[in-house]
Amino acid sequence: MPALPKKIMVVGLGNPGKKYEFTRHNLGFRVLDRLREQIGMPTWQLQKALAAEVSEARIGGVQVVLLKPLTYMNLSGKSVKAALKQYGMRVSNLHVVHDDKDVMLANLKVKSGSSAAGHKGVASLIEELGSKNFNRYRMGIMAPSAEGVETEKYVVSKFLPDEEPAIRNAIDQTTDTIIADLGLGR
């Protein structure tokens, strides 16, 4: 296995505010909250210049930055581009967690270098960064309840009560996968 970079940025995509807190589109934020807690990162700090909440620490000699863009999903790339520049990181240091309506509920797919496939937050990243060569943790939100629902409405809907246990489990599994993939276990 190749040596891990000395710098890692993990970005969770979502929308700011209580209105969106437990929506399907905010799985990225929920995973980052769990990841920050699991690996013992400092509390979130608002960085206005980045339009993001940030938690940063050195873990085992690696600079780790967790970032939650507050630009709303469709403009996430602006915040991430500014953060990569501020922390002196390349796109290859970037790992992005986001919801994916093309993946079945609570399933995880890990990819690198693929297109946005209609995800506007990922499209914003690709456009702003000029590259699609970053790692993606795609968390499934597609459920039978989505049948006939317009995508824009579906992604900002909350999980149904009977879906939430599977989502909480998926958040834990995704967090564990990120920790293992990036060597962040303490």
Taking residues 77-81, report their average pLDDT.
98
Mean pLDDT of 62-82: 97
Looking at residue 60, its pLDDT comes to 85
Q: Average pLDDT, whole number, for the chain?
A: 94
pLDDT band of 4, cuts 50, 70, 90: low
> Between 113 and 148, whose confidence is greater?
113
**Structural domains in the chain, sorted by start:** 7-182 (3.40.50.1470)
Q: What are the tens digits of pLDDT across the range 136-186?
A: 999 999 988 787 889 899 999 999 999 999 999 999 999 999 999 999 986
DSSP secondary structure string, 105-152? TT-EEEEES---TT-HHHHHHHHHHT---SEEEEEEEE-GGGTT--HH
**Active site residue ranges:** 25
